[in-house]
Structure 1
Amino acid sequence: MKNHSLDGIRTFLAVAELKSFSAAALRLGVTATAASKAIKVMERQHGVLLFKRNTRHVGFTEAGESLYASLSGATRQIDDAFAALGMFRDRPVGHLRLTVPRALGALVMRALIPRFRSSYPEVTIDLSLDDGVVDLVAQGYDAGIRLGQSVQQDMVAVRLTGDLRWSVVGAPAYFDRKGRPSIPEDLMHHETLGYRFHTSGSMHHWRFVRDGEEFLLDAGAPLVVNDTTLIADFARSGLGLAYLPDVEIEQDLSSGSLLRVLENYVPSKSGLFLYFPARTQSQPKLRAFIDTALALSQPAPSDSFR
């Protein structure tokens, strides 16, 4: 296969359209000698003459006319293709790939996605639920949502919620059977429901605070699950104590089907952030998603992403 110079093709098309080497050179910003040389290189490479020329006139040879007929159609397609790029610049269109945590992300997306799709129907969405740390660039995502401490430092992060309250909770029937822990260390004598991160396989350690100092506790859970929605179901059924964000179990807390313990020992965690590489935020599709998310965000997630 022969190597075709794009510069040579541009020169050929300019000469063909203007019927002049000097005019073509002026359009391309080169010298007439350079334009003539580019055509001679093409003619030598393919073994045919493309133009008949004298001091006053430039015209096609049969081979040149055939080549122009073929290339002019392709050129229009190329021009149309580059013109179509304008729609990506001027309005939100295209495909948006997002990664969000399973339970918390689903709570956010229930409100966010319908509003976004209603406003921007030309943007299609691929939504992945994953609690693990995700490299957006390496895995081809446009943006993600994570708790603040999970966002990489080289990302732009936009806060969506205030800090999230977490609780150790259990069903009334469980407390009737096992009693209530008074201090975090009492959990070593209770049945706990552990969470294992889906991607890394590591366990989530329960975080507590005493006298201003945070510490982690692993109670050796006899039941481990990689889905917080199912953990809440198991806690509701009285199978053990769970460590969950309040926004995920607010109805259970209101109805009394789950009760808090150790409230003075459980710290709040950083809220949810939308994050993305700095260089991508100017894309209209991502900018529109950011603006829609910010329009919904409020200090309390339960008030906004419902």
Structure 2
Amino acid sequence: MIAVRLCKPYQWAVFGSPAYFKAHGRPQVTGDLTRHECIRFRRPEKGDIYRWEFMENGSTVRVDPVGGVTVNDGELMRSLAVKGVGLIYSSTFHTSRELAAGTLEPVLLDCSPGSDGLFLYFSKTARNQPKLRAFIDLCHRLLAP
């Protein structure tokens, strides 16, 4: 098998707008999230509310976010967070535009899990297929920082 990296490693975290943090403060530990408005994400494929995941004392801790807004679209979720509606749980990969623009800021990074990034896996026999090569080139162009 061959693995081709499609993006840099990224990290999961809680994100909020500068205006939200100015009005409500920044959570310092995961327990602080109960005092914040969180924008919840309903996973379309399962129908459940995604529980936010953190690493504490070497163990995975899952938090049920508290909030009056639930969405099932990542773009909408990020847009609401930029407008100061509440905090979101996302990755630095998905929020890269907002981070670069300064419209979202991460918190709780010290207890947030990381990821090695996205990879495309394929067999050695498939590596010379023009369609696969074109797809890899497109992914590199679209996912380039």
TM-score interval, normalised by the smaller of the two chains: 0.7 to 0.9
The answer to whether the Cα contact below 8 Å between 2:39 and 2:65 also exists between their aligned partners in 1 is no
The offset of 1:253, in angstroms, is 1.6
Within a 5 Å distance, the mapping from 1:1-306 to structure 2 comes to: 158-159=3-4, 160-274=6-120, 282=126, 287-295=129-137, 304-305=143-144
Q: Cα–Cα, structure 1 residues 289 and 223, in superposed 2: closer, same or farther, change >3 Å?
A: farther
Q: Distance in 2 between matches of 1:212 and 1:289?
A: 43
1 or 2, which has the higher strand percentage? Answer: 2
The answer to whether the Cα contact below 8 Å between 2:18 and 2:103 also exists between their aligned partners in 1 is yes
AA in 1 matched with 2:134: T
Q: Deviations over 1:59-89 (max 9, x none)?
A: xxxxxxxxxxxxxxxxxxxxxxxxxxxxxxx
Q: Distance in 2 between matches of 1:220 and 1:157?
A: 42
Q: Cα–Cα, structure 1 residues 261 and 283, in superposed 2: closer, same or farther, change >3 Å?
A: closer
The offset of 1:177, in angstroms, is 1.7
The 3-state SS of whatever aligns with 1:167 is strand
- Between Structure 1 and Structure 2, how many residues are aligned? 143
Q: Distance in 2 between matches of 1:288 and 1:220?
A: 48
Q: Distance in 1 between matches of 2:144 and 2:131?
A: 15
AA in 2 matched with 1:305: A
Q: Distance in 2 between matches of 1:191 and 1:185?
A: 13
The answer to whether the Cα contact below 8 Å between 2:40 and 2:71 also exists between their aligned partners in 1 is yes
Q: Deviations over 1:3-55 (max 9, x none)?
A: xxxxxxxxxxxxxxxxxxxxxxxxxxxxxxxxxxxxxxxxxxxxxxxxxxxxx
Larger RCO, structure (CA 8 Å, separation 6 or more): 2
* TM-score, length-scaled by structure 2: 0.80
- In structure 2, the gaps of 5 or more residues are none
The offset of 1:273, in angstroms, is 3.4
Out of 163-172 and 186-195, give the one that drifted further. Answer: 163-172
Q: Distance in 2 between matches of 1:237 and 1:220?
A: 18
The offset of 1:269, in angstroms, is 2.5
The answer to whether the Cα contact below 8 Å between 1:157 and 1:273 also exists between their aligned partners in 2 is no
- In structure 1, the gaps of 5 or more residues are 1-155
Q: Cα–Cα, structure 1 residues 208 and 292, in superposed 2: closer, same or farther, change >3 Å?
A: same
Q: Cα–Cα, structure 1 residues 195 and 157, in superposed 2: closer, same or farther, change >3 Å?
A: farther
1 or 2, which has the higher helix percentage? Answer: 1
The offset of 1:295, in angstroms, is 4.5
Q: Cα–Cα, structure 1 residues 213 and 283, in superposed 2: closer, same or farther, change >3 Å?
A: closer
| Larger Rg over CA atoms | 1
* TM-score, length-scaled by structure 1: 0.41
